[in-house]
Amino acid sequence: QVQLVESGGGLVQAGGSLRLSCAASGRTFSNYAMGWFRQVPGKERDVVAAISWSGTSTYYADSVKGRFTISRDNAKNTQYLQMNSLKPEDTAVYYCAATYVSADYSRPDEYQYWGQGTQVTVSS
């Protein structure tokens, strides 16, 4: 089992920045690729970004490219999502997820473990 705990969400004005963190415990963190997803009420959970176990490969949704940066520190068992130039449409609950093996990091059903989520609200 892998336990994931997100932190860093909150309320920010449009154009501002937030940094989300996801602390992992349980199995060996470096064995897992990691992802960030977000969900608004009534809609599906969508991928925001993903990162390989080594950190050398990353994926971003088109809507966040150039604004968000995913990273990980395997020594600290933590992954991060730096969010800059935030827009009201970025408002959602953000979830951290881990996958041991995946053919498509953008698919939420490829991930075995999930955090409880953290709310990000961007005001206009």
**Under 8 Å CB-to-CB from 34, ≥6 apart: which residues?**
22, 50, 51, 70, 72, 79, 96, 97, 98, 99
Please classify residue 101 by burial: count the beta carbons closer than 10 Å to its beta carbon, then call 0-12 exposed, 13-18 middle and 19+ buried: exposed
Please classify residue 8 by burial: count the beta carbons closer than 10 Å to its beta carbon, then call 0-12 exposed, 13-18 middle and 19+ buried: middle
Percent of the chain topping pLDDT 70: 100
Q: To the nearest whole number, what is the mean pLDDT of the chain? A: 95
| Among 119, 113, 116, 92, residue whose Cα is nearest residue 35 | 113
d(C-alpha 38, C-alpha 50), whole Å: 12
Q: Which band of pLDDT confidence, cut at 50, 70 and 90, is reported for residue 108?
A: very high
